[in-house]
Amino acid sequence: MSLFNQFNEVNEAGFWILTAFVLWMVVFATGLINKKHTGYFFPAVTITGCLALIAGILFSGKSTVNILVPLPFFLGEAGFDFTIDPLSKWFLAIIAITGIPITLFAPGYLHHLRNRTFPGFIWAGFSMLLLSMCGVVMSSNAIAFIVFWEMMALSSFSLVASDNEQRETRRASFIYLGATRIGTGFLMAGFLWAHSITGSWSFSAWGITGAAAIGPSILILIGLATKAGCWPFHLWLPIAHPAAPAPVSAIMSGVMIKTAIYTITRLFITGSHIEFKWLGIVLIVFGAISAFWGVIFALLQHDLKRLLAYHSVENIGIILMGLGVSATGAANNIPLLTQMGLAAALFHTLNHAIFKSLLFLGAGVIDARTHLRDIEKMGGLIHKMPWTAAAFTAGSAAICALPPLNGFASEWILYQSFFKLALNGPTAATRLTGVFLMAVLALIGALAIACFVKAVSVAFLGLPRTDNARRAREGTPQMTAAQVFLAVLCVVSGLGVPVLLNPLSQITAMTGTGSMIGNIWTIPVGILTIILLTTVAAIAIWMKKLSMKNPVKSYITWECGFGDLSPKTQYTATSFAQPISSIFGNIYRYALEVTTHGRQSRHFPETVEAETRYEAYLETKLYEPFLNWIKKFSGILLMKLQAGSIHQYLIYMAIALIILIRIGVVK
Amino acid sequence: MNLSQIDFLAAAAAATAVMMCGITGIQTQFRFLALQTALFSGICLLEGFSSHGQHMAQFIILAAVVLIVKAAGIPLFLMWAANKMSIIRDKGNTASPPVTLIMAFGAIAAGYFLIPQFAVYSAGNPVSAGMAVALLFIGMIFMVTRRLAISQVTGFLIIENGIFLYGLTQAKGMPHLVEMAVVFEALIAVLIAGLVILRINRNFEHIDVTQMRGLRH
């Protein structure tokens, strides 16, 4: 009875959010029981959960909701305390609005995996992932946070491992599991340290400043960087994403890695629960390296999902750069800079969630319909799957920050914050950093465009390179609807910046000086879009006119005397990326080897082989030797400890007993 | 030091455990185990008398259950199992029985010195606490130094007795239901262990745990 009384005190917003939790729990439980169910029960209930979450966010308005889940839900030292303030709501909204299209998309995709996985298990993991992400962004104490963080890690691991008949997937899922273990380990160590300083588990009671903050900050940041996929902890990301089913990649890359961004914002920026002196410079440096690293490795990839995964590394880097500028502003007491950097970072978080899940869903449709992930084997897909092609192109334009789409909107605010830093920075070094960041972001933007021109043109244009690509067809209506929904969101969020600045200004006001970002959006997007559209229309009409004057003539392409041309002679992704890759060749020892075979190989080659190679130094020189050493060492240790002798095990127990008596009893 | 009657019985039980360490004959060991457990039954009765009739009936029932299940049932079952496998002696593994005997005396000494840390003085009978801890150590020593799987069960029962003694003499408030449950749990554990050992004996034709390292491969 008291349980219900306590729930009554939670207002309407809290009720809707808890409803979402309950619905997802229902999906989780029924998914585990009814693992072969393929009907519309799971997606319907999951989407209802997302809608309930949106209702909760809308009902809460501008107020902050506190939910204390009553006993018996208790975690020993702290309860499940939820605080839903504007920052939490922002991330809850991201979860809900990417969760809906991904859920809509999933049944069609799972049909393609029907003989290899149990759909019920995937839905169970998926709903638990949604629930735990919401828990993470709502928790107001460290213990509840860690519990949800772990639920998130484990449910996403089970999703990555769902198609586990393939060796590659098993390897990927274990690498991912290892990465989450390391991340959580660092995070827990950091939280324990913070707890030992402050004596409290509640984030709001933490106020660690000065030299004491350095240790916990570094541990927490390493833990979060591992989850976010920030350089140099990004290795799991390009391995786990291609292995996971497409909806899972979409939710993981679009939303899950952003929980780390949330945590950085919550602990270090909006609440200043931990004041780390060098936070700004650390975030800027690692963000810039991540962004650059991600995009140059993305250029080399032919696996569409791996390419997108490297772009997640890039975009996380961009977001971290924004947060770094914000932290620099806070450290130097420039509130406008703090708020602009924060707004840019959070806005880009939303936008990246939208266009990255769109792109992953596009890759998912291609995978489901052609069983291809290698773009070198695609080609001409635009004729067979026009909706997917259009949506994927829109997503690509958004990720390349082309106006008027949403990627442009957030990067524009980010550029503005860099300008602000370059103009108003307190020291010459910070001003120079602002200039440097502008240069980095411009370089990254250019490389991203190159990368997506490659991906879109090789995958969708030209002629099909393989039979699989020739047999492609459009995805189910639901899959198309999900993609179109996200593509429309890309446009809406790009054009509706003034509206979106309202919730963002509520968040930036949490930094303590009242919101100042009300009028940072200086571009009249609507008018510009109309001008752009009329210009495009004018060019189109003009070209039509030209073509009427000079009608198209068809010729046979000269094939240099080699006989019929096959679709394989089209421009490939490798050859497209080669000029740019060779510029940065020293970073990954890029090499192109061409060998020709045949008797008269100079003039009449029978076969020509071209192969590019690259080496990721971080993997081969740092992680691999380290992991090998660990494996060897733990192997020796295991041989000694697990010798298989019962007496030895009994001695361990006796030693444990004596130690316990020594610790607990003998004072 | 004035030993109460309960303390005296507890010390006697610890002494039987020490003797068990020096014995190689399996059947004799089980007889001593039965004696040790019968002493606990006596402690139960004494506790009942000292509670001045408050929980008298419950203590008497507990004493009877301990006597029937633990002091008679379990040793008889183990004797039957040992007979069936025709086991006569366990000569020990790393330490020979005389060495084990000395170690067991050491355990008694350790228990004695740990009395201040473990005893609940308000409950009376502080020596029993030390003897309980000593039984714990002796059980461990017994398990580590014996070679046959059935001796591991004996060692486990000594440890179990130590915990039972501690609960009985130090924590006055332990519900009798819990005590009963523990007794029957021990019975079940021993039955399962005994049957597993019989099965091991049938498959491997021995129950020497030092030989079981080979199972790892």
- For the ranges A237-251, A394-408, A631-645, the lowest mean pLDDT is seen at A631-645
* CB of A653 less than 8 A from some CB of B: yes
Domain extent at residue A315: 279-521+553-571
Task: Pick the closest to residue B129 from B191, B172, B91 (CA basis).
Answer: B172
* Assigned domain for A588 exists: yes
Rounded CA separation A472/A575 (Å): 24
* Assigned domain for A350 exists: yes
Nearest CB neighbour to B215, from listed A644, A657, A661: A644
* Residue A107 pLDDT exceeds 80: yes
Question: Are A313 and A340 in a shared domain?
Answer: yes
Q: What is the pLDDT of residue B35?
A: 93
Interchain proximity B212–A654, CB inside 8 Å: no
Mean of all residue pLDDT scores within chain A: 86
Q: What is the pTM of this model?
A: 0.78
Q: What is the pLDDT of residue A639?
A: 80
Question: Are A123 and A267 in a shared domain?
Answer: yes
β-strand partners of B89: B25
Give tens-digit pLDDT for A192-248: 999 888 888 888 888 888 888 888 899 999 999 999 988 888 888 888 888 888 999
Give kind and range of the element (H or E) at residue A66.
strand A65-68
Question: Are A354 and A485 in a shared domain?
Answer: yes
Single out the residue in A220, A252, A277 at which a domain terminates: A277
Question: Which chain B residues are Cβ-neighbours of A665 within 8 angstroms?
Answer: 114, 117-118
Task: Pick the closest to residue A249 from A360, A170, A150 (CA basis).
Answer: A360
Question: Which chain B residues are Cβ-neighbours of A643 within 8 angstroms?
Answer: 213, 216
| Nearest Cα residue in chain A from B140 | A654
* CB of A548 less than 8 A from some CB of B: no
Coil, strand or helix at B206: coil
| Residues 6 or more apart in contact with residue A258 via CB below 8 angstroms | A91, A94, A228, A319, A349, A352, A353
Question: Are A510 and A592 in a shared domain?
Answer: no
Rounded CA separation A103/A43 (Å): 6
A98 burial type by CB count under 10 A (0-12 exposed, 13-18 middle, 19+ buried): buried
Single out the residue in A250, A277, A304 at which a domain terminates: A277
Task: Pick the closest to residue A621 from A589, A593, A584 (CA basis).
Answer: A589
Nearest CB neighbour to A666, from listed B117, B152, B213: B117
Rounded CA separation A545/A551 (Å): 10
* Residue A16 pLDDT exceeds 60: yes
Question: Are A3 and A61 in a shared domain?
Answer: yes
Question: Which chain B residues are Cβ-neighbours of A657 within 8 angstroms?
Answer: 136, 140
Amino acid at A25: M
* CB of A665 less than 8 A from some CB of B: yes
Task: Pick the closest to residue A358 from A325, A383, A391, A381 (CA basis).
Answer: A391
Interchain proximity A665–B117, CB inside 8 Å: yes
* Residue A7 pLDDT exceeds 60: no
Cα A622 to the center of its chain, rounded Å: 24
* Residue A275 pLDDT exceeds 80: yes
Task: Pick the closest to residue B94 from B137, B23, B152, B142 (CA basis).
Answer: B142
Amino acid at A243: A
Give kind and range of the element (H or E) at residue A594.
strand A591-597
Q: For testing the chain A interface, which of B100, B103, B154, B209 should be mutated: the one with the most A CBs within 10 Å?
A: B209
Contacts across the A-B interface (CB distance below 8 Å): 38
Give kind and range of the element (H or E) at residue A419.
helix A406-424
* Assigned domain for A419 exists: yes
Give tens-digit pLDDT for A26-66: 999 998 888 887 778 888 999 999 999 998 888 887 777 77
Nearest CB neighbour to A646, from listed B140, B141, B212: B212
Interchain proximity B212–A666, CB inside 8 Å: no
Distances (CA, A) of A377 to A366, A380, A451: 11, 10, 17
Q: For testing the chain B interface, which of A645, A647, A667 should be mutated: the one with the most B CBs within 10 Å?
A: A647
Question: Which chain B residues are Cβ-neighbours of A661 within 8 angstroms?
Answer: 114, 133
* Assigned domain for A41 exists: yes
| Residues 6 or more apart in contact with residue A625 via CB below 8 angstroms | none
Question: Are A499 and A640 in a shared domain?
Answer: no
Give tens-digit pLDDT for A417-434: 999 888 888 888 888 989
Q: Which two tokens stand for residue A376?
A: 């070198």
* CB of A639 less than 8 A from some CB of B: no
Contact map slice: B 76-95 vs A, CB within 8 A = 93-94
- Choice between B1 and A614, residue whose per-residue pLDDT is larger: A614
Rounded CA separation A23/A15 (Å): 12
Question: Are A449 and A587 in a shared domain?
Answer: no
- CB-CB contact of A249 with A637 (8 Å): no
Question: Are A506 and A380 in a shared domain?
Answer: yes
Give tens-digit pLDDT for A232-267: 888 888 888 888 889 999 999 989 999 999 999 988
Contact map slice: B 157-216 vs A, CB within 8 A = 209-210, 212-213, 215-216
Query: What total number of domains does chain A contain?
Result: 4
* Assigned domain for A397 exists: yes
Residue whose tokens read 């309860």: A79
Rounded CA separation A463/A455 (Å): 14
Torsion sign, CA atoms A207, A210, A212, A216? positive
Nearest CB neighbour to A657, from listed B118, B140, B216: B140
* Assigned domain for A534 exists: no
Rounded CA separation A573/A303 (Å): 10
* Assigned domain for A635 exists: yes
Q: What is the pLDDT of residue A186?
A: 94
Complex ipTM value: 0.80
Question: Are A589 and A496 in a shared domain?
Answer: no
Give tens-digit pLDDT for A458-478: 888 888 888 888 888 888 888
* Residue B82 pLDDT exceeds 80: yes
Rounded CA separation A396/A405 (Å): 10
Question: Are A244 and A346 in a shared domain?
Answer: no
Q: What is the pLDDT of residue A2?
A: 40
Single out the residue in A571, A605, A635 at which a domain terminates: A571
* Assigned domain for A625 exists: yes
| Nearest Cα residue in chain A from B213 | A644
Question: Which chain A residues are Cβ-neighbours of B148 within 8 angstroms?
Answer: none
Question: Are A155 and A262 in a shared domain?
Answer: yes
Nearest CB neighbour to B144, from listed A644, A647, A667: A647
Interchain proximity A643–B213, CB inside 8 Å: yes
Residue A553 DSSP one-character state: -
Q: What is the pLDDT of residue A5?
A: 44
Q: Which two tokens stand for residue A420?
A: 């602000």
* CB of A646 less than 8 A from some CB of B: yes
Rounded CA separation A322/A351 (Å): 14
Question: Are A351 and A400 in a shared domain?
Answer: yes
